[in-house]
A and B are shown apart, each in its own frame.
With several copies, the nearest count.
Chain A
Amino acid sequence: MRELAYYEAKFEALDEIMAADQRVHLINGTFLSLSPHRHVFQNLAKKYGDRMMSPPISELGFCGLATGAAMAGLRPIVDLSTGSFIYEAWPQVANEAANAYSMSGGQTRVPVVFHLFHGLRGGGAAQHSGSPQAMLWNCPGLEIAIPSSPRDVKGLLKTAVASDNPTIFVDHVRLLDLRGEVPENDKPIPFGVADIKRAGSDVTLIATSHTVQVCLKAAEKLAKEGIEVEVVDPRTLVPFDLATILSSVEKTRRVVIADETHQSCGVAAEIAARIAETGFDKLKTRIRRVSTLDVPVPYSPPLEAHIGPSESRIIDAVRASVA
């Protein structure tokens, strides 16, 4: 099957989306971050320049603009660049976009996509390493997609743009160079369908975004110790596919959750709570979380590495779970 780098798959998705639907506009343009591949993005500008807008440094303003444009029938994809910059737009995202459909009694649709790069990126320090998806999961009215592979980024981006709801699209710069299979003419990936990235019978290891890749590496190492880990990637937080996770837990009876959001009220907290509520009887041992420690992200490389959901922390948690 065809292999693509993650950034290529993402670019292909944007290109196909823009070609297929004239209503799609891009607001701001760091969809490939500062990666060395960002130049490929210029190709989009050549083809669809009249549907691309380069706004001032006014995240609140341009997220509002995109939201209003969505209310009036466009399908804007607005790029926030670094995850924590969405804080600047919090009032528009959490208080306007998320609520409009419900407050209008189901009349005003808001098909906008908010795109951002979350997480530990190497030297991002406290202000450029944010993972706002947990906070946003606490804000009903938003869909949240969070890919971890070339195939997923393409398929989920298409579904995000097709959705009639405001959608947060959570990406990670450390995925951009990852290579993987992406079939030609692949179908959009429906929201709410978890993906078993690796089958295994001993422990259910749930992860999102770049941490899925860390888990896959950890799983290879653990396999050598005879521990077979099942890596489950929810792929979307809203809607959330609890069923797939529960059936994995049914099989393994052990759960580790690894995720880059801070621990308290983080993504792993919610997944742990759901399992503690609905899968308690299936569990043989306590749930283990491997989240980013609850401290502002320090700049220094060994400190940053220490607080994240590293391979070694994940391996330790899995080992403890089967001990």
Chain B
Amino acid sequence: MLPKLPRDNLLELCRRMFVIRHFEESLVPLHDKGVFGGHYHLYIGQEATGVPAISCLRSDDYLFTTHRNHGHLLARGAEPKRLLAEILGRADGLNKGKGGSFHSVAPTLGFLHSSGVVAGIIPLSTGTAYASKALKNGRLTVCLFGDGSLEEGAAPEAFNLASLNKLPVLFLCENNGKYGAGRAVAAGQSSSMAAYPLTDLPKAYKIPAQLIDGIDAGLVHATVSEAVEKIRRGEGPQFIEAQTVRWPGSETNWPSVPHPTDSSLAWDVSGVQEKAREWYRSCDPLLVFARELVEANQATKDDLASMERQVKTEIAAAVEFAVASPYPKPEEAERNFFA
């Protein structure tokens, strides 16, 4: 379903989803050609969680994210070219090339820290929330993490701290393992987490928790809005699990694009290789959103095609910018590690 928002906002949500998708797809050939090295993780398939969720926040709220952070930063409005330059380790990167894909941050957007350690951010998120409460500045913290994070003891410790102190923090767990593609098993259980459904864990700590479909932008928007309101009213932490189906391009350790995205796929996936077709047909949140926009007469197919063209142009420019950006001077490594 579509979020209950004016048309302009809906189109902007759609545009951000396109930005994320084409940004992420552009990384794969850059990595395969060796333009950057190291491990990296794409947000494809989770756009309808991050984009509407983050749109519910105030500009001064805090966000924490993980190894799978690109989509969150872009959803919040980070410049693709500077994020890309960071991933390529260049001087114009968001963090001057010191962080890379795992650690891209943008403090002006509320992203203070992004950790590649599973669950590393969950305790940290109770800290910004604690500070906001102490300083009475009304700033909320959203902690975005994967389902695997709940397996680390850091998560329950942080839930306990958040619950006891009624901290203003939203735990938004993106479970990209629906249908067992990831760590979860189809039959309502998981091979790696006995506390399943995952919402059982925060509930044990008396944190209100709900499970929603993360492909449903409208549901994500409504659920997050409501949770954010409760937190702002002082009701303490909230937990949302948003389930998505793992993008077939990330089933291996090194991503590959089964089929380049184009909005026309929303109406015809016959060109997609068999193995990946079902995902693009029914699980791709971007294509679902595009269809819903057209069906609700909020946009025509042409509107979307032209929006997508613009985005592709922007991403192409970002790639050009990032590839042209110089590496930092080697000696920069010895500087700026203490404030």
Q: Do chains A and B touch in the complex (CB under 8 A)?
A: yes
Residues of A that sit less than 8 Å from B by CB: 25, 34, 51, 53-74, 76, 84-85, 88, 91-92, 95-96, 99-111, 121-128, 140-141, 143, 163-165, 293, 295-296, 298-307
A64-B126, A64-B158, A302-B329 given; name 16 further pairs at CB < 8 Å: A57-B119, A57-B148, A60-B154, A61-B161, A67-B124, A72-B139, A84-B117, A88-B117, A91-B117, A104-B103, A122-B38, A127-B117, A141-B337, A293-B334, A298-B333, A300-B98
Q: Which residues of A contact B151 (CB under 8 A)?
A: 56-58
The answer, among A58, A107, A128, A163, for a CB contact under 8 Å with B153, is A58
Output the nearest chain B residue to A110 by Cβ-Cβ distance. B339
B337 A73 Cβ-Cβ under 8 A: no
B89 near A: Cβ within 8 Å?
Answer: yes
B125 A56 Cβ-Cβ under 8 A: no
For residues 80 through 135 of chain B, which have their beta carbon under 8 Å from a beta carbon of chain A?
89-90, 93-103, 105, 107, 112-113, 115-120, 122-132, 134-135
Output the nearest chain A residue to B107 by Cβ-Cβ distance. A107
For this complex, 10 residue pairs linking A to B, each with C-beta atoms less than 8 Å apart, are: A56-B160, A58-B151, A68-B130, A92-B120, A101-B339, A108-B112, A141-B338, A163-B339, A299-B99, A302-B329
Within the complex, the shortest CB–CB distance from A118 to chain B, in Å, comes to 16
Within the complex, the shortest CB–CB distance from B199 to chain A, in Å, comes to 17
Q: Which residues of A contact B62 (CB under 8 A)?
A: 72
B226 near A: Cβ within 8 Å?
Answer: no
Within the complex, the shortest CB–CB distance from B204 to chain A, in Å, comes to 14
Q: Which residues of B contact A67 (CB under 8 A)?
A: 123-124, 127
The answer, among B97, B132, B154, B330, for a CB contact under 8 Å with A105, is B97
B330 A305 Cβ-Cβ under 8 A: yes
Q: Which residues of B contact A126 (CB under 8 A)?
A: 98, 103
A84 to B332, CA, bound (A): 24
Output the nearest chain B residue to A293 by Cβ-Cβ distance. B334
A92 B123 Cβ-Cβ under 8 A: yes
Q: Which residues of A contact B36 (CB under 8 A)?
A: 123
A105 B336 Cβ-Cβ under 8 A: yes
A103 B131 Cβ-Cβ under 8 A: no
Q: Which residues of A contact B327 (CB under 8 A)?
A: 300-303
Within the complex, the shortest CB–CB distance from B51 to chain A, in Å, comes to 24
Output the nearest chain B residue to A85 by Cβ-Cβ distance. B117
A68 to B134, CA, bound (A): 13
A105 B98 Cβ-Cβ under 8 A: yes
The answer, among A51, A53, A73, for a CB contact under 8 Å with B165, is A53
Asked, given contacts A25-B134, A55-B161, A72-B131, whether A61 binds B337 with beta carbons under 8 Å apart, the answer is no
B161 A34 Cβ-Cβ under 8 A: no
Tell me how many residues of B have a C-beta within 8 Å of chain A.
Answer: 72
Within the complex, the shortest CB–CB distance from B126 to chain A, in Å, comes to 5
Output the nearest chain A residue to B103 by Cβ-Cβ distance. A103
A100 B38 Cβ-Cβ under 8 A: no
A71 B130 Cβ-Cβ under 8 A: no
Which 5 A-B pairs give the minimum distances between C-beta atoms?
A68-B127, A123-B38, A64-B123, A299-B100, A61-B157
A56 to B123, CA, bound (A): 13
B30 near A: Cβ within 8 Å?
Answer: no
A127 to B116, CA, bound (A): 7
A296 to B338, CA, bound (A): 10
A307 to B335, CA, bound (A): 11
The answer, among B90, B99, B128, B148, for a CB contact under 8 Å with A69, is B128
B128 A68 Cβ-Cβ under 8 A: yes
Q: Which residues of A contact B197 (CB under 8 A)?
A: none
A72 B152 Cβ-Cβ under 8 A: no
B144-174 vs A, CB cutoff 8 Å, 1 = contact: the mask equals 0000110111100110110011000000000
B338 A104 Cβ-Cβ under 8 A: no
Within the complex, the shortest CB–CB distance from B62 to chain A, in Å, comes to 7
Output the nearest chain B residue to A129 by Cβ-Cβ distance. B38
B192 A56 Cβ-Cβ under 8 A: yes
A63 to B124, CA, bound (A): 8
Q: Which residues of A contact B331 (CB under 8 A)?
A: 306
Output the nearest chain B residue to A303 by Cβ-Cβ distance. B333
Most buried by B among A34, A68, A106: A68
Within the complex, the shortest CB–CB distance from A113 to chain B, in Å, comes to 14
B122 A306 Cβ-Cβ under 8 A: no
Within the complex, the shortest CB–CB distance from B228 to chain A, in Å, comes to 18
B270 near A: Cβ within 8 Å?
Answer: no
B253 near A: Cβ within 8 Å?
Answer: yes
The answer, among A109, A122, A127, A300, for a CB contact under 8 Å with B115, is A127
For residues 298 through 339 of chain B, which have their beta carbon under 8 Å from a beta carbon of chain A?
327-334, 336-339
Asked, given contacts A56-B161, A104-B113, whether A68 binds B98 with beta carbons under 8 Å apart, the answer is no
A299 to B165, CA, bound (A): 36
B39 near A: Cβ within 8 Å?
Answer: yes
Output the nearest chain B residue to A297 by Cβ-Cβ distance. B333
B112 A104 Cβ-Cβ under 8 A: yes
Asked, given contacts A58-B161, A100-B113, A128-B116, whether A303 binds B39 with beta carbons under 8 Å apart, the answer is no
B181 near A: Cβ within 8 Å?
Answer: no
A56 B193 Cβ-Cβ under 8 A: yes
Q: Which residues of A contact B118 (CB under 8 A)?
A: 57
Within the complex, the shortest CB–CB distance from A7 to chain B, in Å, comes to 16
Output the nearest chain A residue to B97 by Cβ-Cβ distance. A300
A66 to B103, CA, bound (A): 20
A304 to B38, CA, bound (A): 12
B37 near A: Cβ within 8 Å?
Answer: yes
Q: Which residues of B contact A54 (CB under 8 A)?
A: 191-192
Most buried by A among B101, B327, B336: B336
Within the complex, the shortest CB–CB distance from B95 to chain A, in Å, comes to 3
The answer, among B99, B123, B131, for a CB contact under 8 Å with A60, is B123
Q: Which residues of B contact A300 (CB under 8 A)?
A: 89-90, 93, 96-98, 100, 327-328
B99 A73 Cβ-Cβ under 8 A: no
For residues 188 through 233 of chain B, which have their beta carbon under 8 Å from a beta carbon of chain A?
191-193
Q: Which residues of B contact A55 (CB under 8 A)?
A: 161, 192
